[in-house]
Structures are given as structure tokens and as C-alpha cells.
Structure 1
């Protein structure tokens, strides 16, 4: 598949594959015969069957998880929406590349291959209160960066981000998609003061008002950042390749939400890894109908919460594929 415009990208979303019904049925039948009381593994059973359906295998395995971090800079940081200066984005990318960040440790612990993609850090997006953050060319280029970053041999994907100011961008996207007051979608992000929080609310309110009436992908371009668009592109490519995705926190979920708004069901191959400490994340997950696997008060970003749950998804799949059935174990099934 290829695309060179947002309209063509929307067509890609509309033509994405669906889960394998035969694999799902076979996984459900196997799960019903495993040596355990019915339903005793709770959501682990649901996760395993969901994974099997997307991979097209009744007894799948998670052998090659991938974590991709995208970084971008935002013009709105000049308005004082973050507790940290924009230079921190570049500094943190270097930290990722040298293995010093939390996501490096969590990726290694999960046995995941991790890569970092810095996108035009010397060219921040525009201030979206004055015009679109990205024009269509820039947005499509970022979508393609994400699309091309996905390893076709991966069997589970986590996407994360780094970009000073991007909680403001995520809040604006969520507000534009789901409405309500700007204050309901704005949080402290990296720890802004009360004055900084008020600035964020004003910036989000102004940006949403300026770009009212745009469709979902137009919202991504107008209010997003290059790293958010890249995450959306990677999630879409994973769907095309039938690779299940674990969504990270508020920023990742906001980027993903533009796909669901553009094409209903676009996130069926995604599961919510965690509920972050950013208050609006709970509202966003509810709007998408996604129940998080864990809620540990994380608010770091970087894909950290999603990477943390890779072993949980792997454990669910191992139970489905590796446990013996009653017949295989010679155990009498419930009558």
C-alpha cells in the first residue's frame, strides 16, 4: 500500500484487513478445553483470543515485539505550555540512543527490539493557534515515517513519543474530536505550574476554535505534531500487517484516536496497555471503548506503560498456546 495525500491515507484505513474469524474460533475452542475452570484466567483469555485472531493462528506466540519511539518539536512551546524547554527533545533523543531512558530498560526487560526516529527536530511544527501545525505534505511525510518504521517481521508493536509540548497537542486533538471544555482535556503534563496550566487551556481552546470543522485527519495535521502523526502511521501499518498493537498513554492514544475517527474500527487491532496519570487519558480511553490492562500512575510517555505490558500479553498468549487441554493431560473435564 502507498499514499501521498491524506485522502489516500484514509482509503488505506478503509481497506485495512480484519481479524481472522477461523483463527478466533479455533482459539476459542482450544481455550475452552484447557486444563482450567472456564473463564478462570479472566482477561488473559480475552487477550490471547484477540491476539490469535489478528495473527491468524490458533496457537500463536509473541516472539518479536517491537518498540518504536518518534520524536518531534512543537511551535506552541514558545507560548509556555511546558515546564521544560524545547531543547530537551534533542537531549532525550540522545539519551534514548545511548540506552539511558526508562523505555530502554523496559524494552530490554520485555525482550523487544527498540528504535528511535527523530523527525525534523530543527524544524518545529507551527503554532497551531495561528495556523495549522503541519500542512498536508508535512503530515503525510510524518505518517510515512511511522509507516516505514514498522518491521514486517514484528508480531507485537508499541509506539511511543518524545516531544516537549506534545501533551498540549494531544489535548487539542482530543478536544477537537470529542468536544467539551478545553480544561477537561488539559493536564499538567511534565509538571507545569498553575499559571502554565491556564496557558495550556487557553492555547488548546484557541487552537480548537481556529481549526473547527476539519475532519479527523485534518485535525491530526492542524493540531498534532510530527511524532503524533508518525505514531498514527505506524499503528495503521501494523493493521495492514496484522500486527497487534499495545497503546501507550494520553499522547499515543490521542494520535490513535484520529484513526478511529477517520475509520470506525481502525483500532480493533489495538489494546490499551495502561491508564496514565494524565486525567484526560481515562476519558479518552472511555471514548474509544478501551479498558486498560494496568493503572500504575505512570505519566512518562516514551511508550513506557505499553512496553511494561508486553510481558503480560506474552503471558496470555503462552497460556493459550502452551497449556495442555484436558484430553492432552488426561484430566477429566467438568461435566
Structure 2
């Protein structure tokens, strides 16, 4: 085995081994505090679930979230040669520059949320230059997975490592809440293939319209995915093999973001279909990582709900969105922060002088 490959695999295994279960004592302390607040128990629903999850992640009942960032991984896909998208591949580098100039939807929503947009070129098929761009290119786009593996295993592992290192660097700078975003024309095709292999989904139910393709192109896209799986024969028992053969560089980068956030004991809010495909790979590599993930919204992409079910996640929002970029995840930042504010700012029954309801004793009459 190549020594660099062995070292890279060892590093990934070390990260996975470093992902610990949530702090159960902190979760219990948060639950007790929530039950003392001036409301019926459990009446704030998912906000209470997130509050307890954050407590377990940070190891304290009333955590400080710190700075917020949405990490947008950008990469191209060779499978675009097959005509599976309504947009040309040239849109990927053009949109990356739009992110860097602050003009995309994710920029607008991030400004509203008080979050920073961190854009990473992990595999764009163009040479890009901007002071705010993190240039971590593994290669100039994946190969056409309809003709062979999208990338080598070494490249996939290197891309995962980029995501891990990006989170580690940001965490060291005081960021404690992350969101996943992506840009890559053709990436719903790769994500659908990942769902079909790792989730055992039929391609017809896994692959949707992506950027808005018509019926004829959708049928062609599904045929391309089937051919890609048949040619590459990815092993569903080996998530890295599946990622290597039918995945994408930006998807691999997001796998690393999720693993890195879990290793750093930080919550990570995932966006839509592509981010959830990355989350599926990440949780197959490290099941404990699922405890650190918050699902932001349910995308219009038809396979998204199946992806979330495979991971065991429930989305907070249903907004009929399908843009990607991290837009849904950034919208959900306000809900995550709301759960913390409830814990810190809402009065307890004792503080407010409000009487708690008395549960009826067993056997007592009405």
C-alpha cells in the first residue's frame, strides 16, 4: 500500500475514533431546566430537542454557540458530459465568484443570520483567485462516473481531510456553529447515486429534477446513474468506496466538515439533498456523528426525505426550497439560536412566581 494513502487513512480513522457520544449528564441537566421553565413540559417541541442536543454536544446545559459559519464546498462533476443538468458546468466557477462577491442567496441569508460564508475551492474545473477564497483543489473536477470511478480513493480521502481541516481551523478561531453548503453543477446526480447505493433506494425514487430538468432529461439522468453504478460496482459496505466511485469532491469535503464538527464537539446544520448525501456517507463512516447533526429543512428534491430517514434525522423547516448553497441551513441558524435563548432567558416557575400544574395522583377522581 502507498505510504501516503496509509497515513491518510490512519488520520481519518483517528478523527472517527475521536468522535465521542453526547454528554448525557449535560443532556439531563438541560431537560431538567426545560421542565422548570414557564410552559407545559415539551410544549416547545423541536426547540427543546435541539436545546438538549446542543447541551450534550457542548457538555453544558447552557452552552455558548460562538461564531457561526456556513462552509460552501465547490467542485465540478465530469458526469455533466452526459447532459444531465439544465445548466452548463461553467456555472460552477461563475457562482463561486458570486459567493465571494456577496451576491448569492446564501450570502444574503448569512448576513441576516450574522454568519460568515467560507468558500472552499476543492475541485472546480477552473483557476480561481480571490482573497477570500480557500483554494484547496484536489483536482479540476471529478472524472465522468458513467465511464469509470469519479476519483481515486486517495483523492476522496484527501477531499474529506480538507473538510476536517477547514472545521478545525475555524473552530480554533472561535467558530462553534457550522452549516454545510455546496456548489457543483451535476451534484444531484452524484448524490442520487450515493442514496441508491448506500440507502438501497431505487434510482427512479432517488433521482429528482435537480436544477429543474424536464421529463426526458430526468429519464436520461436516471439511466446515467444506473449505468454509473453498473460500471463502477461500488461496495455499499465500504462508504469510502462508494464516495470514490460515484461521489463528488465537494460532497467528500462536506463529509469531512461533518466529521470535523463532530470531532470538535460542534453542532453542524446540514442543508438539503447534497448535504444530506454527505451526511449519509459521514454517518456510515462514523455512526456517532449523527448526534452532532441538525437537519435544517426538507428539500423539494424527491429523494431528500429518504436520505434523512436513512440517517434518522427530522427536518425543522418545510419551505419547498431546492437551491442548495447552504441556504436552508443558514435559515435554520435562527431556530438553533432560539433554542439557546429559551434556555437562558425564559423564566422558571420559581423566578416568575407562577404555579406549576399538579399531576393527578394515580386513582384520583376528576
Classify the TM-score, shorter chain.
Answer: over 0.9
1:84 maps to 2:87: yes
1:71 aligns with 2:74: yes
Q: Name the CA distance, whole Å, in 2 between partners of 1:7 and 1:192.
A: 41
TM-superposed deviation, 1:328: 2.3
* Residue-by-residue CA offset, 1:109-155 (whole Å, 9 max, x unaligned): 11112110112313120111222111122112211221121211222
Distance 1:7 1:208 in 2: 28
After superposition, give the CA deviation of every residue in 1:6-65 in whole Å (9 maximum; x if it has no partner). Answer: 464245324312211121111111111111121221221111111111011111233312
The question of 1:305 aligning with 2:328 is answered yes
Name the structure 2 match of 1:330: 353
Q: Hey, what does 1:283 align to over in structure 2?
A: 306
Please report the TM-score for the alignment, with normalisation by the length of structure 1: 0.95
Asked if the contact 1:60/1:321 (under 8 Å) is kept, the reply is no
What stretches of structure 1 of length at least 5 have no aligned partner?
none
Moved more, 151-160 or 263-272: 263-272
Mapped partners of 1:212, 1:7: distance in 2: 22
State the distance in 1 between where 2:9 and 2:147 align. 22
My pick for the range that moved more, 124-133 or 3-12, is: 3-12
**Corresponding residue SS for 2:287:** coil
Report which stretch shifted further, 114-123 or 208-217. 208-217
Aligned to 1:143: 160
Q: Which has the higher contact order (CA 8 A, sep 6+)?
A: 1
Q: Which runs of 4 or more aligned residues in structure 1 lie more than 6 Å from their structure 2 counterparts after TM superposition? A: none
Counterpart CA distance in 2 for 1:282 and 1:264 is: 19
1:66 Cα offset (Å): 1.2
SS at match of 1:155: strand
Query: Which one is further off, 116-125 or 260-269?
Result: 260-269
| CA pair 203-5 structure 1, distance change in 2 beyond 3 A | farther
Normalised to the residue count of structure 2, the TM-score between the two structures is 0.87
8 Å Cα contact 1:82-1:165 kept in structure 2: yes
Contact 2:300 / 2:320 at 8 angstroms: preserved in 1?
A: yes
Determine which of 124, 128, 131 is the counterpart of 2:148: 131
